[in-house]
Structure 1
Amino acid sequence: MSTGVMLQALAGTFTATGSMTTARQFQTATRLDDGAALITGGNNGSGVVLASAELYDPASGTFTATGTMTTPRELQTATLLANGTVLITGGISGPGAVLASAELYEPASGTFTSTGNMTTPRSAQTATLLTNGTVLITGGDNGMAVLASAELYDPATGTFTTTASMTPPGSSRKPPCSLTAPSSSPAATTALPSWRRQSCTPPLQWFPRSAPLKDHLEAEPRSRSAAAASPGPHR
């Protein structure tokens, strides 16, 4: 979706605001020093991973396009650094393509430039600014497995170095159970990150990207009951 919603914190209510320039899911949203919000990447809902970015202006309630990332990304991180730039790390650029690359957004020029690569490709990881100005990158998924490793980004050198691993492995956005597409939908399966292709116990019914969310929510309890009654795959 491209629509935006604002939270009125004092009133505890949400109100509609301007729409994004591009429909997105799995994008990032990072508040900049000037109060604007940087929106990066994501997926357009049709399997296309986006490199575009845009800025939200709270004063006008509008979104405007800004520079394009050096690489299309979804499930990446975007962290505001102490110097006002934004560090973008990892994510997925396409089916099976988990990224180790990283880049920096410069608000003054509205441009993205490459920086050092992470030591490990990651998607759905976390990125946290520490008090010394470095960024801690933890966990995520490398397309094959959930990761326990972690690393640090040093803005002064533009490099990543390994640090102690987590115990046990973790992913910031990995659900306890993921949907598995039937064999009749191989393209839909390969277009998903590995943590969304993992089997559930019991297996859940597959819903294509185009299925309305309400259909998913209404059918999931039925699929769980059917799965418990039959060991075979469900479509």
Structure 2
Amino acid sequence: MSLDPISRFSDHSSDYQKYRPGYPEAIITYLEQNIGLNAKKNVADIGSGTGIFTELFLRKGYPVIAVEPNAEMRLQAEEHLGYFKQFKSVGTRAESTLIPTASVDLITVAQAFHWFDTQQVRSEFLRIAKPGAHVLLVWNILQNKTPFLKAYQQFKEGFSGSKPYRDKADQEQVAHFFDGAAITVQEIYHSRLLDFNALLGYFRSSSYAPLPGEVQYLDAERDLQIIFDRFEKNGKVKLEYDAKMFLGKIAL
């Protein structure tokens, strides 16, 4: 497994696109009601991956510049979202987006902020932000409340011990990024039902998961099947998430 934050998802990009959870549409409603976001505003989705969060805005008619340095993940987004006329894909790092200065009303980062150089990214976001622009940081946090979710989380921990970042949604890191500006923290619950193949694909989408042909893969598939068989109802298990949002202004 590569420890480079850019390349470590390359072999997982197809599973990432197919099996990672989406985000609730209530996020858009929240932004429209609380910061006056509308489809005339420009959105930049940074660290956009395979475009899962990008799509949420495109489907509501927003123009979105998606910035993603990983070629395999970016290609997934371009193949999936290329038919949206308001979609623009840029292959570069978050720390140097190539976006024109003072051109963006909302900067979003979904599931990627913990990979960034926080200081450099703050400077870059200040450069591309219009006066009064907001930054939205979002993580889909898998809950750990049900017997199934506890078993699944324990299973995953057997493979994820080498994560090269601090806890996701680290509030101290987020507060430091916003540099004393007021931050609104909001959580939106959502869930989905997965059959075994989808659950296996979801696990494979993690950067630390073994892939078919690798030494640990067959054992991992067997152990996951045991967990699934124990908790499934009508052939599916329920994954529950909190979409945790940090919203604040990045520019005066």
Q: TM-score, normalised to structure 1's length?
A: 0.29
Larger strand proportion of the pair = 1
- Could you say which structure has the greater relative contact order, defined with CA pairs below 8 angstroms and 6 or more residues apart? 2
Larger helix proportion of the pair = 2
Larger Rg, first or second structure (1 or 2): 1
